[in-house]
Amino acid sequence: MDLIQEISKECLVIMVTHNPELAEKYSTRIIKLLDGNVVSDSNPYKETEISQPKEKNSFSKKSKLSFWSAFKLSAKNLFSKFKRTFMVCVAGSIGIIGVATVLAVSTGVQGYITSMQNDMLSGNPITINEEAFNLSALISSSGNSMTGEALKSSIEDGYVNVDSMIQYLVSRSDDLSSLSIKNDISQDYVDYVYSMPSEYYSAIVSSYGLNLNNNIYTDFKFNGQQNNRVSLSAALQIYTSMLEKTKYSNFSPYISSLTESFELAPENEEFILSQYDIISNSETSKIATNANEIMLVVSEETELSDLLLTQLGYFSQDEFFNIVYKATNDEDYNEAIWKDRFSYDELLGKTFTWYSNNTVFNKTDENSPFFQTNPFTYNAYESVDFENGKELKITAILRLKEDVSYGSLNSGIYYTTALAREIIADSLQSEIVRYLNETEQSSFNSVSYNGNNVGITYTYSFEFEGTIYENQTGFVGSQSQTNAFIGSVTGQELPNYYTLTLREIGGCELPNQIKIYPTDFDYKDNVTSFLNEWNSDKDISVSGKVIPASERSKIEYTDNLEIVISMINSLINIVTSALVAFTALSLVVSTVMVAIITYVSVMERVKEIGVIRSLGGRKRDVSSLFIAETFIIGLASGVFGIIITYALSGIINLVIGSKFGIYTLASLPFTTALIMIAISIILTLISGVIPARAAAKKDPVEALRTE
């Protein structure tokens, strides 16, 4: 009534009421009516008091309720029912909390993977192989569903259909051939790779397929041996033979197949030191760079496997068998000779000597009847007439840094590129390499029985459990497991084949594998783009030499990390989408709930609606009143949900971090948080549309009558 009285100062207000007290208190003129007739008038009409109309009506503008006024009225109404409003906001935030938490975990996991990518590059370089397996082609290859539907539709009782696998393989022969990669690595291509801008990569490692086990000799402790300096390959054969004489003979293949003794290290000291610490306490310890230097790499737990130490000659015969006995709880186990650790001095003090092919492989007399089957004799034991030996010294013991998860080096001994180049240069002039080149052979093949296969064998002897085993036959090369597998399937004992290739003896000066370690994950794309240019149609210039596309064979590289990362990200996206869709159901529920609460609010404020309309408020103004109310609820629900999400993210990070050391697994970006708040507001506004329209359609007279 005070508001109406204030309005009456500027314009005429006529009010009809049955309440004489209100009339006496607020009105300036009272006209009483009875049965349609004027009974009295407190200020009768006089003709002389007619005033001229104003030239300009100051209230020509239509009255309306501003959104800010509607916002204040709604806020006041919500605050007056604080407990109910708080419960509505909590309920409305549940969906926001669910979706935001899923997005936080998804973002955190992807962020963790991104942070690990640079680290993972060390263990997963971009690789170019002469022959390799195309993992990406395998993943994209579809399964055998060619005739499945046809067979299902032709099922008949009493008959079994035949699935034509041969037909399928023939039809898919082109696809299956794509699973194999065969590259022709030429000198031009090698020069092209090394012409890559140096900022793209940390290191490039060219491997030549060398097998140093045949040419490196060291001290071994064998009972009954006059000369205890033998080659690593002979020592492996001796240990295998010893194990075959025991009840643990089924373990014998594992000695040589589970570990690699000598591998090539990256030719970049800074790159290695960025991943590994030198833990050996010698003042002279350093990264191996020269041809006569090698490095020993241990695991993160400062361990070396017993099989690796056995191959390298660190265990004596008794110590080796004691390891086997202890592992199998055998009664022959002797605690007195059990050795479970080595000092740095013991590891660094081990001596290794490399000898050239002409020293370790002696050509058989061509007039000898054994020349056709064994054109060269292998000297398994170091003798006094061995010449051209290069002593290899372990200069450092390396261990992966604590803050690095993936390294470029596995446990074992690593030699330098300088040694590899010397070996190849020397081997290319050796008799055994010349023989293979002259006879146009790429390898020698040996077999574990006296057959007619051309190969290289040697004899050895050893003493075990009081028995001397003489004239045992050994084979130089890499053992093939193919026949062993066939024998296990058929139940027959078939001979094992051994192959000594031209590459293994240093007869190829072109690498058969090139590993490229990108500087970081961003530069990895630059590396792959550079490699892809080789397969393009444009001419390429390498060291001033122009190589047209017609003279270049296609070279495919393997980027396993890209495949793995893309698979992981795809999996994360699928899981995230599924969880978001599931948790989004709670958003729908909260939206319906807000609509119900808003409708209840409309019912509670009917009289207020009538007053607003009677004061000149439009339907739009009434709608704004309740839209503002849903806006406030949506904003409060969104903000509350985001606060709870950040709190839950902190708890998740603490729990996961204490267990796995990852303290950023749940991370909700600020932009995502704003988007979630906006979604909360939009959903509540949508939920308030129908109740707001219902309120706007209320008849003001009926609304004012409502008590």
Phi and psi angles of residue 354, each rounded to the nearest 5 degrees, phi first: -100, 135
User: Rounded distance, CA 478 to CA 455, Å?
Assistant: 12
Q: What is the mean pLDDT of the chain?
A: 80
Q: pLDDT-derived band of residue 665, with 50, 70 and 90 as boundaries?
A: confident
pLDDT of residue 633 exceeding 90, the answer is no
Q: What's the 3-state SS for 627-638?
A: HHHHHHHHHHHH
pLDDT, greater one: 158 or 226: 158
Q: pLDDT-derived band of residue 496, with 50, 70 and 90 as boundaries?
A: low
What is the amino acid identity at position 260? E
Beta bridge pairs of residue 413:
262, 296
Which pTM value belongs to this model? 0.68
pLDDT in tens, 195-216: 999 999 989 999 998 999 999 9
E-strand ranges in 233-299 read 262-264, 276-278, 293-297
Least trusted range by pLDDT, from 228-232, 408-412, 427-431, 591-595:
591-595
User: Rounded distance, CA 98 to CA 100, Å?
Assistant: 6
pLDDT in tens, 506-539: 999 999 999 999 888 788 889 999 999 999 988 8
Per the listing, tokens 């296969």 go with 453
Among candidates 498, 454, 492, which has minimal Cα distance to 475?
Answer: 498
Q: Strand, coil or helix: what is 514?
A: strand
DSSP 54: P
Among candidates 143, 135, 141, 127, which has minimal Cα distance to 180?
Answer: 135
Residue 691: Cβ within 10 Å count: 24
| Residue 310 and residue 329 in contact, taking contact as beta carbons nearer than 8 Å | no
pLDDT of residue 458 exceeding 90, the answer is no
| Residue 672 and residue 107 in contact, taking contact as beta carbons nearer than 8 Å | yes
| Helix H or strand E encompassing 438 | helix 431-438
| Residue 680 and residue 96 in contact, taking contact as beta carbons nearer than 8 Å | yes
Q: Strand, coil or helix: what is 693?
A: helix
As a whole number, mean pLDDT of residues 555-569 equals: 79
Per the listing, tokens 């783009």 go with 529
